[in-house]
Chains A and B, each alone.
Chain A
Amino acid sequence: MAYLYFPGCSLKGTGRAYEESLRAVFEALGAPLIELEDWNCCGATTYMSIDERQAFALAARNLALAEAQNPSPADRVELIAPCSACYLVLLKTQQCLATDASLCQRISTALKEEGLCYRGRVRIRHPLDVLVHDVGLQELSRRVQHPLRGMRVACYYGCQIVRPYALFDDPHRPTTLDDLVRALGAEPVDWALRTHCCGGSLTGTLPEVGLRLNYLLLREAQRRGADCIITVCPLCQFNLEAYQDQIRRRYPDLNAMPVLYFTQLIGLAMGLPPQALGMQRLMVPLIQPVGAFAKGGVHGRA
């Protein structure tokens, strides 16, 4: 299966480690990602709340490009959007275009200006969905070189990948990440906050609220004995990791908690070099867990 890949802004910036580990894992699985050419902003951020139509046009352009660049012989394009915000905006655009004829008309006119056309043939996928359902847990498990035995992982899904469009998991109690972690030999911790809010942009605009939300998540993971949190979203990862110093100033009972992209964890278990997974970019390094997987140190800094 050939997958087109829509990075979005984060994976080229703060979420570089996500891109590095994602590409490394897919490459190792024999399904290298093909980056969408000439992609633009997905339409998230303020666009969606200020001018929905412009946001739809931006997203639709990416969808139209994906159709034009379809690498697969099939009629349908599989487009991977790893960032939760991109994933949601692309899905929302697709749904709105499919149900609102007048919107569809306007967007088509806009696309035509650029010689583009969108026919609804794109299947927007989150890499978690692809890895668990296309590649399959059995195959992933077979590829594990260093089972993460003894490692306790808090799986954090964030808000956007299963809500409101629950395409591959339960919207209230998602389990795919937990199943994946088990397939890697680690142990998912049972916690109630898997889909609670990371604060989104509130960490910047209303720090007392945003930081508290992250504190609650980090503290609960700590309370449940997690060695690390894994995320599927660059904003969640950034909020949970980058503000830990500030949070600890307000709430001193918090220990350092590594926050990894789920693709980094898969890469480690598959025995890929930590450097290739962007492990050196972690601000809170992964403390060497019990188990055999990390003989040479996993942070790439050693």
Chain B
Amino acid sequence: MGGHEVYPDGAPRIGVYVCHCGLNIAGKVDVHEVVAFARTLPFVVVAREYKFMCSDPGQELIREDIRELNLNRVVVASCSPLLHEATFRRVLEQAGQNPFFFQMVNIREHVSWVTEDPREATEKAKALVAAAVRRVIFHEPLQRRRVPVKDRVLVVGGGIAGIHAALTLADAGKHVYLVEREPTIGGHMALFDKTFPTLDCAACILTPKMSAVASHPNITLWTYSEVIGVEGFVGNFRVRVRRKPRYVIEELCVGCLQCIDACVYKDARFPDEFNLGLGKRKPIYIPFPQATPRVVLIDPETCIWFKTGKCKRTCLEACERKAIDFEQQERIEEIEVGAIILATGFKTFDPRRIPEYGYGKYPNVYTALEVERLVNAAGPTGGEVRLRDGRIPQRVGIIHCVGSRDERFNRYCSRVCCMYSLKLAHLIKERTGAEVYNFYIDMRTPGKGYEEFYDRLLQEGVHFIRGRVAEVTDWAVTPEEEGKLIIRVEDTLIGVVRRIPVDMVVLAVGLEPQPDADAVRRMFNISCSKEGFFLERHPKLAPVSTFTDGIFLAGACQGPKDIPDSVAQAGAAAAEAMALIDKGYVELEPNTAYIVEELCSGCKTCIGLCPYNAISFDEARGVAVINEALCKGCGTCVAACPSGAARQHLFEDAQILQEIEGVLAYV
């Protein structure tokens, strides 16, 4: 180790602070020993331990030492920098030091939580502390960059979460782009007749919000559109959106629907996506009467003109506004936003994956979502629960946990199925008078008014049989079973196998990530949890943030969620986005790369490698130039530069070598 003269800001005076984190660290690592060891390291002036270093008294301990002992370097050995690096850097700042004279050692996630043997854990903690002490000596004062924030927000997904987030922001005066890939907003909620546990009419509470979105001056609504590219960083995202052609000029169409009447197809004959194929539509159609925007679209897969080029195109004449445009092309819009809220929702489990439940084989086996359409007053049967052959079912079985809590598919509980099964049981019984049987593993009804709703269903005489259903079969054994579907199940409360004949089976399918969730997460550079839902920054303290600053989550794209929780989360995401925008600027980490011009040979190796196009070439001087505003600090150019001219703040060679030596010297 060199003498004082190599340190431009004077001799290093280092304080080392080791956190117990309650028993999280101290339960495994011998903290006293680590502290005693730290005191023996060069330039260490003081070493202390404390139960919770991140708490106010813990922070004050460090501030006091900085002031009284004239510390100019600080090492904290505690948890992940992801959690508290910002906290401790602020402590240095408050005590008048440059916040980058700081190094954090993760002895919780990297040591105490993952090491079995206390001895080994303590030794590892000591080695990491030694490394950090060596490293921090070579830290330099750095300045954060301040970058102004664009005051607009992108909301991706127009279900109830996206709608609520967009309206909250728009009402606060922020401009919102709401992008939805379906032709209408409304999401899954638009499919429902009633919502649990209050049996509120879903349309009555949702459609006013949909209409508010369409008419809000601060919302740009792009349906039938998808985000195809995201660049930039917090406060300054550049987003490209593909607007698929609906062959109808949105600005001209008033939703009179005359064109639909005029279509050369006299009858609707194509499976209607909105009604999950239970109803029919024409090639020119509107998903449902309250669709927002109320604009028709043409499906080129079924339209005769698109398929054959020969059609009288009676729709064209019928449209007085001349809104139909068979030549319409897709459009790419480019926008700049300061924050992004992802509210891309979920898909339901495909029960064909469980062949023993007979979905797709027996026509009277339905998914819960299909039954939502059947009980819906605006659905294909006008709210009457009728089987595909027109009969009204007299006995209905609802099978819970289809695709959930199942090692073969998803281990997690989908959270909403027990409650929506209760709701459907109530509605089916109300509409048909049928005997309704629920087959459940556990009834899970935590939530305001939920358990009371369950009680109500018990009182209404709905049957509950505890057991995971083995199969749905048409194998009749007794005369009463003839012509029925038989649900075979072990009733685990009485310990016998039962056969329940029914006319209709409803599969309470679980919630899964959208099929393209992985592609979406890559595009927005965020993480997914194991089951594929988007990962929040912290499950408790940052539930709507992601690990990418400026990108927030709302609704079931983060995990199965009911409407109240989705709306609450959407409000939270809107507030977070607003906090970011109203601050007006973001401070960026100074961990950018820079070029030492005297060393640069002008080989341009770095320029092609930079994933952010942050490096250009100065022809006059023959050197590479890094645009600090674009550099994300990935270090690719630093590793690639053959002459060592590309360097990076906070990752200087000296710092890294000293860190390595620190570990090795200790070992």
List chain A positions with a Cβ less than 8 A from chain B.
170, 172-173, 191-193, 216, 219-220, 223
Contact = CB atoms under 8 A, between A and B. Distances in A.
A173 B477 contact: no
A220 B475 contact: yes
B477 A216 contact: yes
Contacts of B477: 216, 219
B475 A170 contact: no
A192 B473 contact: yes
Contacts, number: 15
Nearest to A196: B475
A223 B475 CA distance: 9
A192 B474 contact: yes
A223 B476 contact: yes
Given A191-B475, A192-B474, 7 more contacts: A172-B355, A172-B356, A192-B471, A192-B475, A216-B477, A219-B477, A223-B476
Nearest to B354: A172
Contacts of B476: 223
Contacts of B356: 172-173
Interface string B483-523: 00000000000000000000000000000000000000000
B474 A170 contact: no
A172 B356 CA distance: 7
Contacts of A191: 475
15 contacts: A170-B355, A172-B355, A172-B356, A173-B355, A173-B356, A191-B475, A192-B471, A192-B473, A192-B474, A192-B475, A193-B475, A216-B477, A219-B477, A220-B475, A223-B476
Nearest 4 A/B pairs, CB to CB: A192-B473, A192-B475, A173-B355, A172-B356
Interface in B157-175: none
Dominant secondary structure at the A interface: loop
A216 B473 CA distance: 14
A254 B355 CA distance: 30
A219 to B, nearest CB: 8
A191 B474 CA distance: 8
B562 to A, nearest CB: 32
A291 B496 CA distance: 46
A173 B352 CA distance: 12
Contacts of A173: 355-356
B500 to A, nearest CB: 15
A125 B474 CA distance: 32
Nearest to A224: B475
A169 to B, nearest CB: 12
A219 B478 CA distance: 11
A127 B335 CA distance: 64
Contacts of B474: 192
A146 to B, nearest CB: 32
A175 to B, nearest CB: 11
A192 B355 CA distance: 11
Contacts of A219: 477
Interface string B624-642: 0000000000000000000
Contacts of A193: 475
A1 B475 CA distance: 41
Contacts of A170: 355
Nearest to B476: A223
A170 B471 CA distance: 15
A172 B471 CA distance: 10
A190 to B, nearest CB: 9
Interface in B78-137: none
Nearest to A193: B475
A111 B584 CA distance: 79
Contacts of A223: 476
Nearest to B472: A192
Contacts of A220: 475
Interface string B421-433: 0000000000000
A301 to B, nearest CB: 34
A170 B476 CA distance: 24
Contacts of A216: 477
Contacts of B471: 192
A219 B482 CA distance: 13
